[in-house]
Structure 1
Amino acid sequence: MSFKYQIGLLEVYLFSAITSIYLLGKKFEWAPFMLLLSLTLWLLYRAGLRRSVWLVFLAGIALGGGQMALRGWVEAAPLPLQWQGHSVALEGVVAERSKRGRAERFKLAEVEVMGTPLEGQVWLGLYRSQSDARPGDRVRMQAKLRTPRSYQVPGSFDYAQWLRRQGVVATGYIRGDMEVLADQGGYGWARLRHQLAQWIDHELTPTVAPVAKALLVGIRDDMSLAEQLRWQQSGLFHLVAISGLHVGMVAIGLFKLIRWLLGWLPGWQARWDLKRPAALLTLPGVIAYGALAGWGVSTQRAVIMVALFLLAIILRRGSSPWYTLTLAAALVLTLTPWDLFNAGFQLSFLCVVVLLAIFSPPGPEVPIKEGHRRVAEQRTRWQRGSRALGRTILASSALALLTAPIAQLTFQRITLYALPLNLLAIPMVTFSVVPLGLVAVLLYGIAPELAVWPLQGAGWCISQLQQLTHISAAWPLVNWRIAGAAEAAVWLYMVLLLLLVPVTKRRWQLVGITLGFLMLLSWPRGVTPSKQAMEVNLLDVGQAQAVALHIPKDGWSIIDAGGIKSHRFDVGEQIITPFLLKRGVVRLERIIISHLQSDHMNGVSRLMANFEVGELWLPRQSEPLKRHRGLQRLLAMAEIQGTEVHTRQQGERYERAGGGWSVLHPPRHGKKLDANNGSLVVELSYQGQRLLFPGDIEAQGEALLRQAPSLRSVNWMIAPHHGSRSSSSAALVERLKPQWVLFAAGHDNRYGFPKPEVRARWQAAGAQTLVTGEQGSMRFCVTRQGIRQEPVARPGEALQRTPCKP
C-alpha cells in the first residue's frame, strides 16, 4: 500500500474519531456517525484488511480521539471568588488593542492579579477615559473581572468556549485610568497593526475605515452589526474576514510576480524550473501577511495550508495537490481538532483549494520549447486576458457554490444574489483592494505621504462595495432566512455536489440538480412542536427577559425580547432568531412587549425583520410615547409588513384556537404610570393551566393589579421586575400562590437580582423558584395534567429533538 494511500486513510480515520467524539459528546443525531462508520468499514474492506491498514486505522483513531479528548472542549476554570465582581489591582502586558464603538478593548498577557500570576489572557474594556498604551507596554490598573459565560440558549454561539480556545480566561472592564509602566518590548506586529489601524481611521471616512481595517489588518471590532448584516445578506461577508481567499490570492500574486521577475534573469527561463525558487521566496511573504492580519485562527489555518502547498512545490512533491491538501488538513486538525466543525476552517480550506487548483496547479514547470514559444507569442493580449478573466469567473462561481451551504448553516440564511455579487466583488477585492492596501502598508514605513494615495484608492473601492451592499439590501428576498434542519440540508447539498462531479452528461446533471432541490424543499423543518401540549421557553438573555412559546393550533408567540444594547450585538438577531430558526419557525403569530425599555424590547426589530409577524401588542401606556425612537422604528416596520398593532388594556380577553389571553393591566383609566408600573400584564390559559407574565410592575402596579376582577391564582409565572425588592409584595404572593416562579435575571448581575428575601417569599408560599442566571434557558411543557420542566440543550449542542408529550 502506497504512502499516499496510507495518508488518505489516516485522514479518514482522523475525521471519524473527531466526529464520533463530537457527536456523542454533544448529543447529536446518530445518522452522521453511522455514515462515517460505514465509510470507514468500507474502506477497510476495499483495502483487504491488511496489517498496515489496521495500523493506520489505529493511528488515526488514537490521534483524532486523543486530541479531541484533550483539546476538544476547554472547560472553564472559574476565577477565585475574591476576584469576581470586585475591583482588583491588575498588571499585564498589552498584547492587542482595538476599538469597539466608543470603547477601547485591550487584550492583556502576562497578567498578575493582586500580585498573583494568572494563567491565560484577559480582555478588558475601557469606556470613560483614554489611554496611550500600545501593544508591548506593561500597564497597571483597577479592573473588575469575571469568568466568561455564554448565553445558555439552545442553538446559540458558545462565546465563552470560543474565548477559552483563544486562551482568554477572564473578561471585564477598567475602572479609572490605565497607567503605563514601561515598554516591555516584543509584540512588534501587534504594535504595527495598531499604528496602521490608527492611520486608517485618520485617512479614511468613518464609514469606510472599519471595513478597511478588517480587510487590511484583520481588525473587525469596529464594524457595526448593521454593516455586518448588509455584508452577510449580500453573500459578501467572507470578504471582510481574512482567511483562505485572501491568503491564497496574496500567495498567488506574490508567486506569479516573483516568477515573472526571475524570468528576466538571463538563461533562467530555459534552464531552471522557476516554480521552486518562486515558491521559496513567496513563503516569507505569506507568513508576513499572516502576521499583519493578526494571526487569527482562520489566518493561521490558511497560512499553514498555503505553506504546505508551497513546500510541495519546493520539494518537487507537487504532482498531487490532493495529497498536499490531505497533509494540510491532518496537520491543522491534529493541532486544533474542533476546527473540523468550524465554518472558518471549512471556508479557508475550500478557498485555498479552489484558488490554488485554478490559478496555480502544482507540478514541475516544463521549459518552453521553440515551437511552443512561437505559438505562445502568437497569442494576442485579448486571448490571454480572456483566459485570465475566465479563470476568475470560474473561481468566483466555484467559491460561491461551495461556500453557500456553510453560510446557510452558520447564518441560517440563503443569499440569492451571492453568485452575481461575488463575480463583481471578489475581483475587486483580490485585484484592487488588497493589492492597493498592501502597497500602502509597504509605503507607510518608507514614505507615509505617498502611502496615502494607494490607501485612498483602496478606500474608494471599498466604498463602491459598500454601495453595492446597500443597493442589494433593497432587493426582494435578500433576507431569506432558512428555518429547520440546516445541518441535514448541508449534508444533502454536499453529497449532491460530490455525486455530480463524475457525471458528464448534461441531462443527468439537470436530473440530479432537480432531485436535489426537491429533497431540500421537502426536508423536515426542525423539531415539530406537539399538537396536544403547549411549550414555553424562558430564554437566558442576561439581565433581560425573552419568552418564546408555542400553542397548538395557534402558533409561536414572543413575550418580550430584551437584551443589552450595543452597536455590535442584537439579542433578537444573534440569540432569539437562531433559536427560532432551528425550531423551524417561519411566522410569529404575535409579539407582546410588556413595556418600552431595552431589557424587554431591544431584540424586537430584528425579529420583525426576520419573521412574518401577525400582531404586535403594546401596553396602553405606550400611546403617549410615539416619539420613542425604538417604538417609531417598530411601528414603521409593522406598517410596511402588514403587522396589526394593538394597544392592550385591562379587561380585554382574546380566545384563540389554542388558548385564551387575558389582559390584567394596565387599567383603562387612572393616573399616568411610569414605564415599569404601566407594564402590560397578560395571563395565558391552556387546558386548565394558567400562566402569568407581569412584566416589570412594582409596588404601585401590583396594587392596581390586585384590584383587577379577573386576577386569580396561577400555576406558573415570571416574577415581576426580575425579583427586585420593589416588587413581589406579600399581598401579591398570597393572592397568586403559583407552583412555579421564574426569575429572568442575569448571571452575577450588578443589581443582585433576584433579591434573596424576594425569592424566599415565593418559596415560603410553596413555589419552586428558578433563575435564568443559574439554570440557563428553561423549557416547560403545559398539558391538562400539569406543567413539567424538560431538559434544554446548551450552546453548541443540537436542539431537543423530542416535542412536548401530552
Structure 2
Amino acid sequence: MRHRPVNPYGITFWQRPAIPLLLAFAAGIFWARFWPLPAVWMLLAALTGFGLLVLYLCLFLSRCSLSRSFFFSCFLPILCFIAVGHLTGLQVHGPEREALRLAAFAMDDTVEVTGRIHGLPRPRHGRTQSHLTRVEIRRDSGEMIFLEGRLMFTLVGEGEMPLPGSLVHFKGKIRPFDNFENPGGFNYRRFQHGRGIMGRIWSRDRDLEILDTEPVNIVPRVDRFRLFLGEKIRSCVQDVDAGAVLSAMLIGDRGHVTPALREAYTKSGIAHLMAISGLHVGLLAGAVFWLTERLLRWFRFFTERGLTRRVAALPALVIALSYAMISGGAPSALRAVVMVACGLWVLVMHRSTDVWSLLVLAAGLLLAADPERLVNVGFLLSVTAVAGLILGFQRYPQSFAGAKGFRVKAFLWLKGLFKTSFFAALFTAPICLYVFREVSLIGIAVNLVMVPLMGMLTLPLAMSGLFLSLFFRTGEVILQMAGVLTSWGNGLAEFTGSLPFAVLQPGALTLLEVFIFFGFILLWLGFDSKKGWHRSRVILALFLVLLLTGDILRWTFSRMGPGSPVVTMLDVGQGSAAGIRLPGGAVMLVDGGGFPWPDSMDTGRIILSPWLDFQKIRTIDVLVASHPHADHIKGFFHLAERYRVKELWIAEAALEESMGQELVAAFRERGTLIRHPSMEKDPIEIKGTMFEFFGPGELRFSKVNDESLVFRMQTPHGSMLFTGDAERMAENHYAKTHGNALASDVLLVGHHGSRTSTQASFLQVVNPSLALISCGIRNRYRYPSVEVLRRLEASGIKVFRTDTGGAVTLDFREEGIGAGHTPIGRWDRLW
C-alpha cells in the first residue's frame, strides 16, 4: 500500500486526529462548566455516537460497498468526544454542592472539628496556614457529617503547625469562601472549590488538641519528607530569599517566597524557573536513564539481548514518578511525567511516536483525571508552552549537524535558547494577559541569562547537592554553592523587574481575544510554508481579521463612554470604592477601599485594577479621596504605579495625616494634578456632570471621619450625594448650613451604615429615594447597624448593600435611575 508522504514540518493538524479530539474533549468540559446539561442526555448521545462509529467501522472493515463519509470519519467522532468531555466536566459541580451542604450544616454556629493536617504549612505574620482532610464535623446537638473535601485551616499564634498527617481536634466556626462580587472579577469561591477546599476555619494554638501524630497513608509521609527537605535547603543556604527560591525549584514549596520576590520573577518573565517543569523531570529521568544504561553495558546478559535501554527505562520512570509526588503534584510536573512515561514506554516497546502524540496523551489523561485543570493556570501555561516549542521548532528547525568550532556551536546554542524563550513566551502571552492582565516585555532577554544560570547550572547543582546532603556533608556545601548562584539570580530578577518598561499592561483580554491571538499564531506557524496561501489559510485569515475588526470597533465605542452617567458601587469588603463612567469616556473613582493590616490584601491590585482592565481603561480622569483612612484610599497606591491619573481630589485637612501625605506624594511624583476642592470654591464640571462640594470648609472637626469630602454629583437626570465617613457632628453641621440644598436622589450612606451616621435630621434634608451601603460580609463592626436600616425603611428608601448582593450599578437615564446588583457574571470576559 502506498502511503501519503508526511508533511516535513509535521504541522498540519488534521494529519493527527488526536489533536481535534482533545480539543473536542476540552470543549465538552468547558461547556459543562458554564452550561451543564443532564448527564443522562450526554450519556445517551455518547453511547449512540460510539455505537454508530463501531457499526461504520465494522462495515468498512468487512469491505462492504461503503464510501468514506465525512460525517462518520470526522464530524461524529468530534461530537462523541464533546459528549464525553461534557460528562467528565459535570464533575466540577460536585464541590459546589458539597460546599453548600457544609454551609447548611455548620451555619454560623461553633462546631467541633476533627481532621488530619494536609500539605505543607505556609507561615504568615503571626499565623500559619495549612489544610485539613478526612474532616469530621460535629454540632452541639450531636449531629455529625464527614466532609468530602478539605478545609483551609489557619493556626493563630506562635506555635508550630503539627506535622502533615497529624490528627487534630478543636472548636471553631466554619466560614464559606466569600467573593468580591464585581463585574469581571475573580471568582475566588469557585477557584477554591475547584481545588477541593470547601471552607475555612481557624484556631488558636493553645486551643488545638493533637490526638495522633502517625500518618495513615503515603501522602502525608511524602509531605513530611518534603518538609524535611525544605528545612534542609533553607538551613544550608544562608540567604533567606535564595533558600526560599531553591525550595520552590526543588520541591515545589513556594510558601516561603516573599510576594515582592515572586512579583519580580513574574515581571522579569522568569516565573517558570520557580515551577517544577519538564526541565526538572527531564534532567532527573535523563540522568538516571543514562547512568543506568551505562552501568548495564558492563553485563553481558543485558547487552547480548539488547535490553540495556529497555531495562534502564524502568528506574528512570520510577524516579520521574517519585519526583512528581515530591513536587506536590504541580501541573507542569505531572504533564512532564506523563510525557516521559509514555516516551519510555514507547522505547521499551520498540514503537515510534512523536512529541505531539505524547503531549496530547498527557493533556487528555490529566483532564480526564481532573477536569478542573482546564482552568488551572499552571496546566494551561505548561501545555501551551510545550505546544509552542513543538510548532516553533518544527517550523524553524534547529540543527547542530555540520557545525564546527566553538563560536559556531555557541552561536547556534544561543540561537536555540532565544527561539525557545520566544516561542514559549509567544504561546503563553495570551493566557498571561487573560489571567494576570500583563505580560513581560523583557522575558526573552532575561531568559537568555537566567535559563543558563538557574536552569542549567543552579538546578543540576542544587538537585545533586540535595541528594548528596542526605548521606554526606559534601552535599550541604554544594547546596550552599547553589544558594550563592540563586542569590545572583534573585538580584538580577529584582533589578530587571524594577525597570519601568519591564511589563506590558494593555488590560484584560476576553476569551474571544485569546482565541483570535492563537488563531493568528496558528496562521503563521500552523501551515506548511511551501504550500503558500492555500484556500483554508485564506479563509482562516479573513475570519480572524473580521473578528478582530469587530472586537476593536466594539471596544472603541465602549471606551467612548455610556450614553448616560453610570456609577458602580464596587464590592471591596469593609471599605468603600465607587467607579463613575461619564458620556465621552471620562472615568472617575471615588475612594479605593483597602485594609489596615500590613500583610492584607491590596484592593487596588485585586479589585480596582481588574475592574478597570475589564473595560480596557488605561487612563483615569479623577481620583477622589474622601479622607485618609486605609479602608477608603489604600487601594489608590497601586493605581499610581499602573495607570495614568490626571487629577487627584483630596481635602486640605487630609494632608495633616501621614497616609494623606503619602498618597499625594505618590501621585505628584507621576505628574498628577492635585486639587483641594471645598465649599468655598466653584463646582467642577466634567462632561456635562457637575460636582458640588459642601464640605469640609474652613470649619474643622475633631475627627478625621468628619473631615470627609461631602459632595453631590449632579447629572442631567438625577443626583447622588457622597458623604465618606462623615458622622453625627458633620451631618448636623451640613444639615443646618445647607438645608434642602443637599437634596439628592441617591445617598451613599455614611460610614458604611454605622449608627454614628445617617441621622434623621440629615436624612430628612437629603430626602433620597435610593441608598447604597458599602460594607463587608460578616464584618466585625456589624455594619450596617439595625438603627440605620430601620431609619431608611421608615423613610421609604430602597436600600442596596454590597455585602448582600455584590457591586451595585446605577444608570442615570432620562426615564429614571436604573439600579441593580452587578456581581461576577457567568459569562464575564468571554467576549
Pick which of 86-95 and 255-264 moved more. Answer: 255-264
Cα distance in 2 for partners of 1:4, 1:314 equals: 26
Partner of 1:428: 453
Matched-pair contact (CA < 8 Å) for 1:554–1:658? no
Cα distance in 1 for partners of 2:438, 2:812 equals: 32
Partner of 2:46: none
Give the letter for the 1:726 counterpart: T
Give the letter for the 2:80 counterpart: A
SS in 1 for 2:240: coil
* Corresponding residue pairs, total: 764
Q: 1:454 aligns with which of 478, 490, 496?
A: 478
Partner of 2:204: 175
Pick which of 781-790 and 203-212 moved more. Answer: 203-212
Please give the residue correspondences for 1:314-393 in structure 2 after superposition, counting only pairs within 5 Å: 314-353=348-387, 390-393=415-418
Matched-pair contact (CA < 8 Å) for 1:224–1:568? no
Partner of 2:730: 701
Cα distance in 2 for partners of 1:555, 1:324 equals: 51
Using a 3 Å threshold, how does the CA distance of structure 1 residues 728 and 257 change in structure 2: closer, same or farther? farther
Pick which of 583-592 and 524-533 moved more. Answer: 524-533
Give the letter for the 1:454 counterpart: I
Per-residue CA shift, 1:241-282, capped at 9, x if unaligned? 334554455445554555555567679789737654443322
CA drift of 1:383 comes to 7.0
SS in 1 for 2:751: helix
CA drift of 1:481 comes to 1.0
Q: 1:125 aligns with which of 145, 148, 154?
A: 154
CA drift of 1:322 comes to 1.9
Per-residue CA shift, 1:36-57, capped at 9, x if unaligned? xxxxxxxx9x962364656634
Matched-pair contact (CA < 8 Å) for 1:725–1:755? yes
SS in 1 for 2:691: strand
Matched-pair contact (CA < 8 Å) for 1:244–1:347? no
Q: Which runs of 5+ in 1 are unaligned?
A: 27-43, 361-374, 802-806
Matched-pair contact (CA < 8 Å) for 2:252–2:327? yes
CA drift of 1:714 comes to 1.2
Cα distance in 1 for partners of 2:309, 2:389 equals: 17
CA drift of 1:558 comes to 0.9
Matched-pair contact (CA < 8 Å) for 1:93–1:184? no
Matched-pair contact (CA < 8 Å) for 2:252–2:276? yes
CA drift of 1:556 comes to 0.8
Per-residue CA shift, 1:431-476, capped at 9, x if unaligned? 13322332233234323x4333232233222222222222223434
Q: 1:579 aligns with which of 604, 607, 611?
A: 611
CA drift of 1:520 comes to 7.2
Partner of 1:204: 238
Q: 2:441 aligns with which of 416, 424, 431?
A: 416
Give the letter for the 1:705 counterpart: Y
Matched-pair contact (CA < 8 Å) for 2:562–2:581? no
Q: Which runs of 5+ in 2 are unaligned?
A: 5-13, 38-55, 57-66, 395-399
Using a 3 Å threshold, how does the CA distance of structure 1 residues 108 and 342 change in structure 2: closer, same or farther? closer
SS in 2 for 1:707: helix
Give the letter for the 2:90 counterpart: A
Q: 1:67 aligns with which of 85, 88, 106?
A: 88
Matched-pair contact (CA < 8 Å) for 1:713–1:737? yes
Cα distance in 1 for partners of 2:357, 2:323 equals: 25
Partner of 1:749: 779
Give the letter for the 1:237 counterpart: A
Matched-pair contact (CA < 8 Å) for 2:385–2:424? yes
Give the letter for the 1:96 counterpart: G
Using a 3 Å threshold, how does the CA distance of structure 1 residues 798 and 444 change in structure 2: closer, same or farther? same
Give the letter for the 1:312 counterpart: V
1:500 aligns with 2:524: yes
Give the letter for the 2:29 counterpart: I
Partner of 1:726: 756
Please give the residue correspondences for 1:525-544 in structure 2 after superposition, counting only pairs within 5 Å: 526=555, 527-528=558-559, 530-544=561-575
CA drift of 1:689 comes to 1.0
Cα distance in 2 for partners of 1:127, 1:444 equals: 33
SS in 1 for 2:151: strand
Give the letter for the 1:289 counterpart: Y
**Superposition TM-score, scaled by structure 2 size:** 0.83
Coordinate RMSD, CA, aligned: 3.8
Cα distance in 2 for partners of 1:443, 1:703 equals: 75
Matched-pair contact (CA < 8 Å) for 1:144–1:174? no
Partner of 1:645: 674
Matched-pair contact (CA < 8 Å) for 2:684–2:692? yes
Matched-pair contact (CA < 8 Å) for 1:529–1:550? no
Partner of 2:129: 105
SS in 1 for 2:241: coil
Partner of 2:419: 394
Using a 3 Å threshold, how does the CA distance of structure 1 residues 728 and 275 change in structure 2: closer, same or farther? farther
1:188 aligns with 2:221: yes
Using a 3 Å threshold, how does the CA distance of structure 1 residues 634 and 516 change in structure 2: closer, same or farther? farther
**Superposition TM-score, scaled by structure 1 size:** 0.85
Give the letter for the 1:640 counterpart: E
Partner of 1:31: none
Per-residue CA shift, 1:53-96, capped at 9, x if unaligned? 56634531221111123325742425356745554432221112
Cα distance in 2 for partners of 1:262, 1:797 equals: 58
Matched-pair contact (CA < 8 Å) for 1:214–1:241? yes
SS in 2 for 1:668: coil
Using a 3 Å threshold, how does the CA distance of structure 1 residues 763 and 105 change in structure 2: closer, same or farther? same
Cα distance in 1 for partners of 2:815, 2:578 equals: 22
Using a 3 Å threshold, how does the CA distance of structure 1 residues 210 and 546 change in structure 2: closer, same or farther? farther
Using a 3 Å threshold, how does the CA distance of structure 1 residues 679 and 5 change in structure 2: closer, same or farther? same
Give the letter for the 1:780 counterpart: L
